[in-house]
Structure 1
Amino acid sequence: KGDVWSFTTTPPPPIADFSATPLSGNHPLTVSFTDQSSGDITKWEWDFNNDGTIDRTDTSTPGTFNYTYNTAGVYTVKLTVTGPGGSDDEVKTDYISVFLPLRIVTTTLADASTMKPYSQAVCAEGGIRPYTWEVYTGVLPTGLLMDNNTGIISGIPTKDGTYNFTIRCTDSAFASDMKDFSIKVERNWTQKCFTTSPSARQGHSMAFDSLRRVVVLFGGWNNSGIFFDDTWEWDGKDWTQKSPSNKPSARQWHKMAYDSSRKVTVLFGGYSGSSSLSDTWEWNGVDWTQKSSVNNPSARNEHAMAYDSSRGVVVLFGGRQGGNYFGDTWEWNGTEWKQKNPTNKPPARYGHSMAYDSTRGVVVLFGGFNGVVLNDTWEWDGTNWTLRSPSSKPPARACHDITYDTSRGVVVLFGGFDNGYFNDTWEWDGNDWTQKSPANKPPERDWHSMVCDSSRGVVVVFGGKASNTISLGDTWEWNGNDWTQRSPVSKPSARSGHAMAYDSSRKVVVLFGGRDSSGNRLNDTWEWNGTDWKLINPANKPLPRESHSMVYDSSRKVVVLFGGYDGTKDFNDTWEWDGTDWVVKNPSTKPSARSLHSMAFDSSRNLVVLFGGTDGSSYFNDTWEYDGTNWIQKSPVNKPTARDGHAMAFDSSRGVVVLFGGLSSGGTLNDTWEWNGNNWTQKSPLNKPSTRLGHSTAYDSLRKVVVLFGGFDINSYNDTWEWNGADWTIKSPADKPSARYNHSMAYDSLRGVVVLFGGLVVGGSRLDDTWEY
């Protein structure tokens, strides 16, 4: 009674908590923090990057305040609150994400060349990935496309010019950046109409490049014991040999498959003549690149491969190394090989073949050899192999080939070997094999190669070993009904001193005459439609000759030919070609007999203009005009010096005939003259080609320039120049014809290309190549 008590109480510890907004953004990022702590608090300590250093201390309620992050990164934020009852921490891990602002970092794009594969990446940094890319304004060069996911601009440019456009990159937070770019596409020379083909061979491999629409062939072996390391491409008309900087070593019994997602042909293994190989190579249409993988199928040959487009992998099965047969399954994803371990699988074997059925999503395997010849059918779905049991099937065989015909949805099988050679054709629809009965078919063979050209809907077979064990070099195509043997396209024989003109009404380049490799003068007529040369057999034609001149008279729709040399005499006859026959004309007046003169058609006045030439003893400097009835000699006040071997073209935009170079009594020339119908005017360009004769010119009406190529002085040339009416500009195409002279050119106005054929090289060899610029 009467006691006094005192009590001391300890308040509970505070509870730390906070919120912030925004939680992500580009730097500098200002974040609004709000304290949401509770309890009795006397101090708030903030560590905005959790580095152990207090960045802000408050001794009274901070409420809402701002903090700015000036460096990109992901930040953990820690708040420590302290009061009479103790302290508490709130740590929010990876709470604030600060990004670099989205920025396109690519500054320029490489220039391109027409008909040359092109690939350039536009790159960005910052922002929130993934990015989306687009051409925001302007257009890319014709033939190029931008990948919206990667920013890669690729394709094959088909039209020259300067293309300006704006690229926009958008990140996942919808922030974007834009930048202006320009790609200059230079006109390029493209060789046309190859009539060569791979030499006879067996054990080679092929794949169809669906991006460039060509069949790719590599390697093989022939009866002389030669192993090949050459690369060829078939476009449905001609075989073209490629000249890569790098390539696999010579081999046979390797396999190839086209990876359509990465746009490369993949090659693995083979036999070098002394050992099996285990290297992996990829062909992008320009060069071969050797690939490396941590894991790799063992060295082998006579295996099979197919590309599974649904899963983006090349599938490999089997093969052999010496007497060891393999039954393993591997897949290549473009970076590494991975071995698969299916529950079921075909017995080990070699000499089998595989194809990917894209409709059903399975790789189909047929036949081969493992001590006995096989005729079993298996399918791989990416997980397991399944043995199929068709009611009918091809006889047992090895060294055959199969491919999937995408247009008809069937696997096609041709040829092979058991006790004898086969030339039968079978098709697999996923349920059964059906033998076909074509009217025509390739001879019996094995070790050929076969692929489907999906762009043209045909199966292509090349080469192999015939029943007499001789290597083959023939090309065949299967359209689902019949086999057709393909032969290289015919073309004019090698020659020089011929003449060409473009017939715009019939849309063909006309070629006449020249001198062949045996020294014979020619009088054959050919026409080029942009794809093929066609030999014409008219009822009438001029006598054989070289060094004549031809132009197309668009007002009367005829090609006009004058003069030339037959080895003993010069001509002064005038002929006209109407597309069907040659007709000799009989004008009352005409130039004297001559050769190595030049002509151009003045379409503004509808007259053929002729200047100069030689009769073997004198050079001429006379100017003549032909109106379709008569030749009329002109009497200009000024004119070029007498010459031969010069070239002329009519510039329709300025209404003048342009003349360049040639040979005079004083030597080779490099002067430029223009004829306006009344007088010649010598031009004084700042730049010009070197002195020469035997060059050729053509007027490109689309780009309004005269194009000059080649010629001869001390050496022959293969330079390309363009005249715009004021100056000559030398061009630098990525590809170009070899040096030559006494060739001929004509401008195809429908397709916008200069066409060049043939010519003479130093040493006397004549050429039979066709180029377009």
Structure 2
Amino acid sequence: MRTVIDAVRPACHVVACAALAFGMSVRAQAADLNTALLDISPNRWVRLHTPAVKEWSRQAHAGMAYDSKRGTLLIFGSNTHGLDWDNTVHEFDPVTARWVTHYPEAPQASYRADDKERAIAGGQRRLPWAMHTFAGVAYDPQRDGLIVAARPEHNPIGKKTPAAKIHPSWFYSQTRREWQMLPDSDQAAPKFFGAAAAYDERRRVAVAYRWGIWELLPQRGTTNGPETAWVKVSRENHHQMHHSMVYDSRRGNFAVFGDYRSTNDVWIYKPGARRGEEGRWEKRTPGGDACPRAQHFPVAFDRDQGVFLLVPGNTEFESLPNGRERARRPKSNSTFVYDPDANRYLRLPGADMPALGMNFMMAYDPRHKVFLLVSGGPSEAPTVWALKLDLAGLKR
């Protein structure tokens, strides 16, 4: 691991100051780039940004998506368990190296059921409850916003609000900065606790995976809007929870990594030719470097080089008398490349990280051609790391 704060953060600070001086929005314009990110050394993690003052903290049960229109990171999700009630959206701009919190979190007293028995929070601004989102968040470029396929099952306020019988999925509009239920009716959404979600760019549809594959499809002849609902297109299932599903834009399929049972297998889901059609699954056991069996770790796809980057925990397992295994908490995480064409893992030497814990917060930034990873515990300010992958350099 390399932390060249002196080399990277000052350059980011200059960009941020210029943005403030000229009134630049936090949303990066298409032509704007952070030169510090373009110049980082390849194949190792570089610390990009840590706020000087902690205004909020990364929650292990939260998820993250990449806003391809603005080039920013969007985080939504909470630990709940009575410890955290964060139900706001946090956005990071890698050009200005700045975080923006979109609105204040809702007070606990505002958690209630509406006239259709749906769980809502907030005042005039209707908000979702704080909830675990895991890998169940995805950016939808057609709707220009965040799809949240999750459910607040571990939120203790639910036991005190029995009238809230319906827990919808949610869509957050980036242009309006408003939340909308999916569907916006008295129809219950699928039980997406522990789901993973991604966006299919070729077929232009959001996809969720939890006890089968679901697609977010228009209903009653509409093309968008409140009549959109989740439709189960495949009942086949191979995971419990704590897994990530990542879209492969080069091959037009999805790759699923990790599981509650800890694994280093990769499951590929090839969707049907059209939206709403069932796809097929393929299990792969990669060769190459030995990758640890793990769960709930960061994964993202490099659309320029056509490979995945994953940062699994170096988990050790203890054998139990009943023949089962018990996982010990990893003390570090290592960085691996997965090449789907070769079906092989490649470990990046010198790219180990301190233990990340449960972490679903990594994305590929195609503008800077780097991976961005958010780390940090509940008592810490979030830290953003960057890694530029150079496969050609590794082969030399």
Give the alignment's TM-score, normalised by structure 2: 0.60
Query: One-letter code of the match for 1:389?
Result: S
Does residue 1:428 correspond to 2:287, yes or no?
no
Query: One-letter code of the match for 2:284?
Result: K
| Structure 2 match to 1:255 | 63
Query: What SS is found at the alignment partner of 1:416?
Result: coil
Closer/same/farther in 2, CA of residues 265 and 401 from structure 1, 3 Å limit: same
User: 1:354 Cα deviation (Å)?
Assistant: 0.7
Does residue 1:239 correspond to 2:45, yes or no?
yes
User: For 2:334, which of 453, 470, 474 is the aligned residue?
Assistant: 474
- 1:115–1:156 contact (8 Å) kept in structure 2: no
Query: What SS is found at the alignment partner of 1:318?
Result: coil
Higher relative contact order (CA 8 A, sep 6+): 2
User: 1:275 Cα deviation (Å)?
Assistant: 3.0
Query: One-letter code of the match for 1:277?
Result: D
Query: What SS is found at the alignment partner of 1:365?
Result: strand
Does residue 1:279 correspond to 2:119, yes or no?
no
User: 1:452 Cα deviation (Å)?
Assistant: 1.4
Closer/same/farther in 2, CA of residues 399 and 114 from structure 1, 3 Å limit: closer
Percent identical pairs in the alignment equals 20
Does residue 1:486 correspond to 2:328, yes or no?
no
User: For 2:132, which of 301, 305, 311 is the aligned residue?
Assistant: 301
CA distance in structure 2 between the aligned counterparts of 1:152 and 1:267, rounded to whole angstroms: 20
- 1:318–1:326 contact (8 Å) kept in structure 2: no
Query: One-letter code of the match for 2:287?
Result: A
| 1:179-328 → structure 2 map (5 Å cutoff) | 192-193=40-41, 237-245=43-51, 248-271=56-79, 274-285=83-94, 286-292=97-103, 294-303=125-134, 304-320=136-152, 321-322=154-155, 324=158, 327-328=167-168
User: 1:361 Cα deviation (Å)?
Assistant: 1.2
State which drifts further: 318-327 or 287-296.
Answer: 318-327
User: 1:114 Cα deviation (Å)?
Assistant: 9.5
CA distance in structure 2 between the aligned counterparts of 1:435 and 1:533, rounded to whole angstroms: 30
| 1:123-522 → structure 2 map (5 Å cutoff) | 154-156=31-33, 192-193=40-41, 237-245=43-51, 248-271=56-79, 274-285=83-94, 286-292=97-103, 294-303=125-134, 304-320=136-152, 321-322=154-155, 324=158, 327-334=167-174, 335-341=177-183, 346-367=189-210, 375-381=211-217, 383-389=228-234, 393-417=236-260, 420-430=261-271, 431-440=279-288, 442-464=291-313, 466=315, 467=317, 468-471=327-330, 472-480=332-340, 481-488=343-350
User: 1:456 Cα deviation (Å)?
Assistant: 2.5
User: 1:531 Cα deviation (Å)?
Assistant: 11
CA distance in structure 1 between the aligned counterparts of 2:78 and 2:247, rounded to whole angstroms: 23
- 1:345–1:384 contact (8 Å) kept in structure 2: no
How much is the aligned-residue C-alpha RMSD, in angstroms? 4.0
Query: What SS is found at the alignment partner of 1:278?
Result: coil
CA distance in structure 2 between the aligned counterparts of 1:450 and 1:308, rounded to whole angstroms: 18
| 1:668-679 → structure 2 map (5 Å cutoff) | none
User: 1:309 Cα deviation (Å)?
Assistant: 1.4
CA distance in structure 2 between the aligned counterparts of 1:311 and 1:464, rounded to whole angstroms: 35
CA distance in structure 1 between the aligned counterparts of 2:166 and 2:313, rounded to whole angstroms: 24
- 1:248–1:288 contact (8 Å) kept in structure 2: no
Closer/same/farther in 2, CA of residues 190 and 458 from structure 1, 3 Å limit: closer
CA distance in structure 2 between the aligned counterparts of 1:281 and 1:353, rounded to whole angstroms: 19
- Select the structure that is richer in helix: 2
User: 1:394 Cα deviation (Å)?
Assistant: 4.3
User: 1:152 Cα deviation (Å)?
Assistant: 6.1
Query: One-letter code of the match for 1:356?
Result: Y
CA distance in structure 1 between the aligned counterparts of 2:208 and 2:103, rounded to whole angstroms: 27
Q: For each residue in 1:237-275, what CA deviation from the matched residue of structure 2 results, as whole angstroms up to 9, or x when unmatched?
A: 121223343653242111111111122111112217723
Closer/same/farther in 2, CA of residues 345 and 413 from structure 1, 3 Å limit: farther
- 2:40–2:46 contact (8 Å) kept in structure 1: no
User: 1:450 Cα deviation (Å)?
Assistant: 1.6
- 2:302–2:309 contact (8 Å) kept in structure 1: yes
- 1:312–1:333 contact (8 Å) kept in structure 2: yes
Query: One-letter code of the match for 2:155?
Result: G
Unaligned stretches of 5+ in structure 2? 1-9, 105-124, 159-164, 218-223, 272-278, 318-326, 353-389
Closer/same/farther in 2, CA of residues 413 and 250 from structure 1, 3 Å limit: closer
Query: What SS is found at the alignment partner of 1:451?
Result: strand
Closer/same/farther in 2, CA of residues 331 and 458 from structure 1, 3 Å limit: same
Closer/same/farther in 2, CA of residues 263 and 305 from structure 1, 3 Å limit: same
- Select the structure that is richer in strand: 1
Query: What SS is found at the alignment partner of 2:89?
Result: strand
Closer/same/farther in 2, CA of residues 306 and 154 from structure 1, 3 Å limit: same
User: 1:401 Cα deviation (Å)?
Assistant: 0.8
Unaligned stretches of 5+ in structure 1? 1-111, 124-149, 159-187, 194-235, 368-374, 491-529, 535-773
- 1:310–1:361 contact (8 Å) kept in structure 2: yes
Q: For each residue in 1:137-159, what CA deviation from the matched residue of structure 2 results, as whole angstroms up to 9, or x when unmatched?
A: xxxxxxxxxxxxx996841375x
Closer/same/farther in 2, CA of residues 327 and 429 from structure 1, 3 Å limit: farther
CA distance in structure 2 between the aligned counterparts of 1:251 and 1:439, rounded to whole angstroms: 33
Give the alignment's TM-score, normalised by structure 1: 0.32
Q: For each residue in 1:352-379, what CA deviation from the matched residue of structure 2 results, as whole angstroms up to 9, or x when unmatched?
A: 2111111111111112xxxxxxx31111
Query: What SS is found at the alignment partner of 1:448?
Result: coil
Instruction: Provide the aligned length of Structure 1 versus Structure 2.
Output: 277
Closer/same/farther in 2, CA of residues 327 and 456 from structure 1, 3 Å limit: farther
Closer/same/farther in 2, CA of residues 116 and 386 from structure 1, 3 Å limit: farther
Query: What SS is found at the alignment partner of 1:445?
Result: coil
CA distance in structure 1 between the aligned counterparts of 2:311 and 2:243, rounded to whole angstroms: 12
Query: One-letter code of the match for 1:453?
Result: D
| Structure 2 match to 1:729 | none
Closer/same/farther in 2, CA of residues 283 and 189 from structure 1, 3 Å limit: closer
Closer/same/farther in 2, CA of residues 531 and 385 from structure 1, 3 Å limit: closer
